[in-house]
Structure 1
Amino acid sequence: MSGPSAGRAPRGGRPGLLRFRSFLSLAAAATIMTLALAPTSPAQSETTRIQRVISPGGIEAWLVHDTTLPLVAVEVAFLGGAAQDPADKPGVANLAASLLDEGAGDLDSRAFQDRMAEKAIELRFDASRDMTGGSLRTLSDNVDEAFELMRLAVTAPRFDDEAVERIRQGQLAMLRRRLNDPSTLASLGWSARAFPNHPYGRPVSGTLESVPAIGRDDLKDYVRRTVARDNLKIAVVGDITPEKLGPALDHMFGALPAKAELTPVPDAVPQGLGTEVVKELDVPQTSIVFGGIGLKRDDPDFIPAFVLNHMLGGSAFSSRLFKEVREKRGLAYSVYSHLAPLDHAALILGGTATKNDRAGESIELIRSEYRKLLTDGPTEAELEDAKSYLIGSFALRFDSSAKVASQLLQIQIDDLGIDYIDKRNELVGAVTLDDIKRVAARLNENPELLFSLVGKPAGLVPNKGG
């Protein structure tokens, strides 16, 4: 969520922000947060460091008060996202998010950006399928100014004509570049085939046809409907006390509407499983995106499925797909898979790229390895290696204040509970072979995968099923 919005035009000439980013880079080693890395006892669990702060007006945030460095990181999410785009205008959420820091209140775009640069404040917004997210980074000395800019961005965005057209043209340029990007085209092709006539089948960034049709009223309406207090999640990490944060929450977000007006999004199951969709592109390699039915995040079997996926394609060096596709046959430089539990669909997704003449061989191998793992299960050694890696690497998600804030936000979105960080490794460590077999049997009820290929693939054969 902290990355730049798609299609944003480069600004340049912001020495204050550049110095701030340099400071963040130099300080990274010093901010290995004790939230994740310090050994704890039951009396000093990490959950005790996460404080639930409720503002006088009733707005909730999770806070980790840390004075290691004079920094404050804030992550926010408004649930809804690109799934709320009008069916005939994909890209509204993405364009609106990209414009929230391009002028607000009495400040036009240049004045807003100058205020950020003067105080070395970094404020960004972006949109994904299920949310609009915002990331704020500031030195603690400038936190009041940063919070004021956040307030203006979410409560009074201007959507001035100059800014709208500049960001629109940047997004159109990005969309034109994507016409020759095989991996992006493969991903878009997969979604369109898997979710026809559903919001998940439409591109988050819009199309060359839809983006020019988005007007100022569309942008204002999207913000009016989706940016509200009842669908807001907030995580804060750094040098700020609960006493200061509480009133600040009301200052930033108290003027928002109490309730969002979200359009209901139906749950969906991916279509086209067991088939391949091919887009011809004159490139030497075929980009491949594949996916099938996974488990939602609130499913009791999600953690076993998470461990199972690690053995399939979640590890860069020890997964079955890596060993079979790269090490044994040299078909690809990398191959991966991951669980993708969206709000209204449960997926397992993956991808790779290979020479055109070996595309058919690659997808048959991926399909075979997936079925084999679901049918036969892993060995005890594979399971123990997977759990050991997943437990040991968990701390790497918390090696900066920004990462801690992102993790706390995601835990809130997934409704996992404020004590999840304490429980997570224990949950992974408790997974047994019986658990893996149970979840594998569930996934094996429909093990078919949909493949999206972009390039000039050869050697494709009809899928004969399991």
Structure 2
Amino acid sequence: MTPRFFSRLAAAMLLTLAAALPARAAVEIEEVTSPGGITAWLVEDRNIPFVALEIRFQGGTSLDAPGKRGAVHLMTSLLGEGAGDMDAQGFARAVEGVAADFDYDAGDDVVSVSARFLTETRDEAVELLRASLVEPRFDADAVERVRAQAVSAIRSDLQDPSVIAGRAFDRVAFGDHPYGTAPDGTPESVAALTRDDLIAAHGDALARDRIFVGAAGDITAEELGALLDELLGDLPAEGAPLPEDAEVGLSGGVKVVEFDTPQSVAVFGHEGLPRDHEDFFEAFVLNQIVGGGGFESRLMQEVREKRGLTYGVYSYLAPKDHAALYLGRVASANDRIAEAIGVIRDEWESVAEEGVSAQELEDAKTYLTGAYPLRFDGNGPIANILVGMQMDGLPIDYAETRNDKVRAMTLEEINRVAADLFDPESLTFVVAGRPEGLEDAEPLSQ
């Protein structure tokens, strides 16, 4: 947050702290449709005079045109670097002057825009945000400055074994699909992008046919409806077509990218479940037990606590828009990574064949139901949850019913999903480093 936004918000919070103290265990979500037809989910909260707005444009960096990898990522980085009649410095001063805070980001499937602004300067803040989304300037000096930063970050990533392993895994899993290449491009592809490429990427990615909005704070449904049309109504009606679904090419085994580092990093996984799969929620709870539950998870207990092979190991469901994976990551010394991989394989087989225990399920339920209300701890997190629920296709009452669904889950359901989801034969490891003891590994180039 900008210093001015933070200081003015802090003053407002002190004045209203007593009203804001109760825990946000439940929220009332309202669906709002603007006069122009833009839909948003809103949690109205008049306690603190500011609004959090989360906007998502479906498509993301997967919309890069052929030969233009990194265009959507670079374009998104430039949205706050001058808009309308303001250059980069003028825009930054204007945002600071109204004590607003804007963030822009891009990933495989989404361009994300986060905004925080005070009630007293809402109109001015919305006009500035609108200009950045609808009228970005892409001035030559700003483009070259941000391009240089992007290329520097890419070159730095090429020296990070964690990034190297992740990107090599993506190549193996997705091949020629956009998911198979780095979303921020290569030094060469980013260096070749022109201003016209950025303008084209803007039109492809930021359009009204792919908008999701979550809002929380000091604003009514009627006010939000008018704000949505003012903010987003002048964007193109339609963006570029979304990419085709990707085929997941993971058939098991270990692959190694040689990289000079004392500690190897392994990314592992196989095909997962899409977010709308009937078993996804059970798979989510199951993963809490196996690799998502911090120090209490099976992987942490077996790989770290019992054997001291790593500082951390974890797994997670990765349901992208056009493919779904079940992934994990571990780092270990070069002379111990083979043992860590062996332990993970053993646990994968154990879960597939034997499932989990009643006590493990009960512990996972206790944690998940207790931690969930704590996520609703402010306007920003709430707005982010609202937009995520929409993009995941969840019902508007999900926040109210979610914990009941967790409590109702049975061990039989969980272990049925374990047998279906866990696939030891397809479990693929991609290692970046100089691992020892993996003689049958297939070499990969960086």
Give the TM bin, normalised by the shorter chain: over 0.9
Task: Report the Cα distance in structure 1 between the residues aligned to 2:41 and 2:21, rounded to whole angstroms.
Answer: 16
Q: Which residue of 2 aligns with 1:82?
A: 61
The answer (yes or no) to whether the contact 2:266–2:330 under 8 Å persists in 1 is: yes
Q: Which residue of 2 aligns with 1:37?
A: 25
Q: Does 1:155 align with 2:155?
A: no
Q: Does 1:413 align with 2:401?
A: no
The answer (yes or no) to whether the contact 1:79–1:131 under 8 Å persists in 2 is: yes
For 1:30-73, what per-residue CA distance to the aligned partner results, in whole angstroms no more than 9, with x for missing partners? 897868425xxxxxxx3xx2111111111111111112211110
Task: Report the Cα distance in structure 2 between the residues aligned to 1:374 and 1:402, rounded to whole angstroms.
Answer: 39
Q: Offset at 1:86? A: 2.2
Q: Offset at 1:243? A: 2.1
Q: Offset at 1:207? A: 0.9
Q: Which residue of 2 aligns with 1:377?
A: 355
**Out of 94, 109, 113, which is 1:134 matched to?**
113
Q: Where do 1:31-430 residues align within 5 Å?
A: 36-37=24-25, 46=27, 49-262=28-241, 264-430=242-408
Task: Report the Cα distance in structure 2 between the residues aligned to 1:200 and 1:178, rounded to whole angstroms.
Answer: 17
The answer (yes or no) to whether the contact 2:351–2:422 under 8 Å persists in 1 is: no
SS of 1:82 mapped into structure 2: helix
SS of 2:53 mapped into structure 1: strand
**Distance of aligned partners of 1:204 and 1:409 in 2 relative to their CA distance in 1, 3 Å threshold:** same
SS of 2:336 mapped into structure 1: helix
Q: Which residue of 1 aligns with 2:444?
A: none
Letter in 1 for 2:370: G
SS of 1:256 mapped into structure 2: coil
Q: Which residue of 2 aligns with 1:10?
A: none
Q: Which residue of 2 aligns with 1:19?
A: 7
SS of 1:163 mapped into structure 2: helix
Q: Offset at 1:236? A: 0.7
In the alignment, structure 1 segments of 5+ residues that lack a partner are 3-13, 39-45
Letter in 1 for 2:4: G
The answer (yes or no) to whether the contact 2:54–2:213 under 8 Å persists in 1 is: yes
Structural RMSD (CA): 2.2
Structure 1 range deviating more: 84-93 or 344-353: 84-93
Structure 1 range deviating more: 69-78 or 23-32: 23-32
For 1:329-348, what per-residue CA distance to the aligned partner results, in whole angstroms no more than 9, with x for missing partners? 00001111110100011111
For 1:361-387, what per-residue CA distance to the aligned partner results, in whole angstroms no more than 9, with x for missing partners? 111111111121111000111111111
Task: Report the Cα distance in structure 1 between the residues aligned to 2:177 and 2:308, rounded to whole angstroms.
Answer: 37
Task: Report the Cα distance in structure 1 between the residues aligned to 2:15 and 2:329, rounded to whole angstroms.
Answer: 34
Task: Report the Cα distance in structure 2 between the residues aligned to 1:31 and 1:84, rounded to whole angstroms.
Answer: 45
The answer (yes or no) to whether the contact 1:230–1:258 under 8 Å persists in 2 is: yes
**Distance of aligned partners of 1:334 and 1:26 in 2 relative to their CA distance in 1, 3 Å threshold:** farther
Q: Which residue of 2 aligns with 1:9?
A: none
The answer (yes or no) to whether the contact 2:345–2:424 under 8 Å persists in 1 is: no
**Identical amino acids, percent of aligned pairs:** 44
Q: Which residue of 2 aligns with 1:43?
A: none
Task: Report the Cα distance in structure 1 between the residues aligned to 2:115 and 2:307, rounded to whole angstroms.
Answer: 45
Task: Report the Cα distance in structure 2 between the residues aligned to 1:340 and 1:215, rounded to whole angstroms.
Answer: 33
For 1:375-402, what per-residue CA distance to the aligned partner results, in whole angstroms no more than 9, with x for missing partners? 1000111111111111111122211211
Structure 1 range deviating more: 282-291 or 300-309: 282-291
Task: Report the Cα distance in structure 2 between the residues aligned to 1:290 and 1:16, rounded to whole angstroms.
Answer: 44
The answer (yes or no) to whether the contact 2:314–2:329 under 8 Å persists in 1 is: yes
The answer (yes or no) to whether the contact 2:63–2:204 under 8 Å persists in 1 is: no
Task: Report the Cα distance in structure 1 between the residues aligned to 2:173 and 2:103, rounded to whole angstroms.
Answer: 31
**Distance of aligned partners of 1:434 and 1:27 in 2 relative to their CA distance in 1, 3 Å threshold:** farther
Task: Report the Cα distance in structure 2 between the residues aligned to 1:81 and 1:377, rounded to whole angstroms.
Answer: 37
**Total equivalences in the alignment:** 441
Task: Report the Cα distance in structure 2 between the residues aligned to 1:29 and 1:460, rounded to whole angstroms.
Answer: 58
